[in-house]
Structure 1
Amino acid sequence: MKHHALTPEGFQRWRRSFEIGFWIVLYVCNASFNSLDARVDHPLTSAWEPWCWEWSSALMMLALIPALVWLGGRWPIRLDNWRRTLPLHLAATVPFSLVHVGGMIALRQFAYAIAGSQYDFGAWWVHFGYEYLKDVRSYFGILAIIALYRLWLLRWQGEARLLAEPDEGLPVEPVDRPERFLVRKLGKEFLIAAREIEWLQASGNYVNLHVRGRDYPLRATMAGIEERLDPARFVRVHRSYLVNLDYLAEIEPLDTGDARLTMRDGASAPCSRRYRTQLRERFGDAPVGA
């Protein structure tokens, strides 16, 4: 059997499964080990109770992971912005802990009721203070894992940036409408032509540039990068998507009034009703790709 090295392009196909599986495996292992420890520390309890305590907490943590992934992408903590973003995250730890503890208690009460018993959390404010301190550590620990993973992913798959204006002399190309983007990947830098970008997709604080099957994140807003691209070639089709008309193959109308765009490589992108009208005006009634 021929061995195929893992590539960023191949990883993208099962990236979501990997990310979901990582958190599930992490919390399954953590809950299992903690249940065994709790069983040793509480030998007089029923055998199932420590498992109930730990798994109720783990299940609520898993349910909160998507929210933390979004928060970590929306307000990343960096050296240049931590004074602004850190207070936001500290404030977010309060509802995070309330949801975690409240859901955890509800799951335990449900499990105890099935077993014909009753769960007593104890004095709410005393025990919640203890749980809150643990949740703050968990909150920032999860954010740290997410940030390290994103950093590794950017270094592996490559990250794009605009060419900087030189300190001396004239720029090699217009800074307000660049013809090329500088891509850094695994310590190496190379240029990609703007006309080779097939489409762009907003993702948090980044805009992903899709070029020949690869995505290169560019730290920018969709509105900001749209102003820098050639309007004769790049068209906004959705609040999160820009497409290069040179690579657009088909426009498929949908019953909702929106449309589905098919690119030359077979990939698809959404087109909202608002932008669909503008796109049809660009092409008239002639089918794209005809």
Structure 2
Amino acid sequence: MTDTANWLDRYQPWRRSAEYGFWIGAFLINAVLNSLTVIMDVQRTGLPYQPWQAAVWETSSGVVSLLLVPAVVAFTRRYPLHQDTWRQNLPWYVPASMAWSLAHVLGMVGLRKLAYATQGMIYDYGSWPQELFYEYLKDVRGFASAVVLLHVYRFILLRLQGEARLLDEPDVGPPVEAIDRPERFLVRKLGKEFLVAANDIEWIQAAGNYANLRVRGRDYPLRSTIASVETRLDPQRFARVHRSYIVNLDQVAMIEPLDSGDARVHLKDGTSLPCSRRYRNELRERVGSGI
């Protein structure tokens, strides 16, 4: 476990670059290979198109698809397909795939028109109803592939970094501690389980159907809404500071007021969290009074 944990720690600073690099590289390679294939088909069949036109078709499609990846990432975070959520979330993927395809078509047609205009030509997309249906049949496969890749990638990361859950009530006898306000959370990591004290949680962030527990520099996703987690934490130690954040009051170093009426909460480890104006005064009073 130690070697894997060290590997994960080394990966984290490069994680964002690796993720961007993967998607850029994947779409770049796909666009180049598709361009070469189309150019070969045009030359073999003797169609009246120049090589640059085929390159524009495939490149415009790849660029727009790449720009739409963040939308797919955000959507899959909001509607993840887990064992306990896929039935209620899967129907949302049908309209999402349609919206993704429509945005893809509009974007690539716009880029093609611009490219053709630079050559003094007009790009004709053809019959929109027919072409939209044709493009959707292709786009739905690309959309599904991106969704599968994202879920597999997140599953691997969760297995490596650990996923938290509440302690279950025993089948026989009374629970060791209160189930409605647990003192510890159970974390499963690489097939092993260990306990995390609730008071060791530094802050919590909402992430779709998850609440990420920040403990000693690591995030442990808990499959629960942040509102549900808030009801199970000690209100004398934890405070809601934002619709997406809960903070451990012992970790607060300073509250910085902002001109907007909101605030920024600075923690002892150097982390800064947003604080909404509705929570600012209460947080200041609680921190100032030493509660």
Offset of residue 5 of structure 1? 8.2
In terms of mean alpha carbon deviation, does 111-120 or 76-85 score higher?
76-85
After superposing on structure 2, the runs of 4+ consecutive aligned residues of structure 1 that deviate more than 6 Å are none
In terms of mean alpha carbon deviation, does 96-105 or 81-90 score higher?
81-90
Q: Distance in 2 between matches of 1:222 and 1:27?
A: 36
- The change in CA–CA distance for 1:156 and 1:59 in structure 2 (over 3 A counts) is same
1:55 aligns with 2:59: yes
The match for 1:237 is 241
3-state SS of paired residue (1:117)? coil
- The change in CA–CA distance for 1:73 and 1:234 in structure 2 (over 3 A counts) is same
1:213 aligns with 2:217: yes
Q: Mapping of 1:9-158 within 5 angstroms?
A: 9-43=9-43, 44=47, 45-158=49-162
Deviations 1:226-257 (A, max 9, x none): 00000000011111111111111111222222
8 A Cα contact 1:9 1:213, kept in partner:
no
- The one-letter amino acid of 1:14's match is W
Offset of residue 15 of structure 1? 2.4
In terms of mean alpha carbon deviation, does 8-17 or 244-253 score higher?
8-17
Q: Mapping of 1:182-201 within 5 angstroms?
A: 182-201=186-205
In terms of mean alpha carbon deviation, does 222-231 or 273-282 score higher?
273-282
- The change in CA–CA distance for 1:68 and 1:162 in structure 2 (over 3 A counts) is same
Offset of residue 140 of structure 1? 1.1
8 A Cα contact 2:214 2:220, kept in partner:
yes
Deviations 1:21-74 (A, max 9, x none): 221111011111111111111125212111100111111111211111111111
- The one-letter amino acid of 2:19's match is E
Q: Distance in 1 between matches of 2:83 and 2:267?
A: 39
Offset of residue 79 of structure 1? 4.1
Offset of residue 118 of structure 1? 1.6
3-state SS of paired residue (1:200)? strand
3-state SS of paired residue (1:48)? helix
The match for 2:8 is 8
Alignment counterpart, residue 181 of structure 2, candidates 158, 167, 177: 177
Offset of residue 85 of structure 1? 2.2
8 A Cα contact 1:38 1:50, kept in partner:
yes
Offset of residue 259 of structure 1? 1.7
Offset of residue 278 of structure 1? 0.7
3-state SS of paired residue (2:68)? helix
In terms of mean alpha carbon deviation, does 8-17 or 189-198 score higher?
8-17
- The one-letter amino acid of 1:16's match is R
CA RMSD of aligned residues (A): 1.8
- The one-letter amino acid of 2:123's match is Y
Q: Distance in 2 between matches of 1:281 and 1:11?
A: 40
Offset of residue 12 of structure 1? 3.1
- The one-letter amino acid of 2:181's match is R
Alignment counterpart, residue 271 of structure 1, candidates 272, 275, 278: 275
8 A Cα contact 2:78 2:207, kept in partner:
no
Identify unmatched segments of 5+ residues in structure 1: none
- The change in CA–CA distance for 1:80 and 1:179 in structure 2 (over 3 A counts) is closer
The match for 1:283 is 287
Q: Distance in 2 between matches of 1:245 and 1:13?
A: 27
Identify unmatched segments of 5+ residues in structure 2: none
- The one-letter amino acid of 1:167's match is D
- Comparing both structures, which one devotes a greater share of its residues to helix? 2
TM-score, structure 1 length as denominator? 0.92
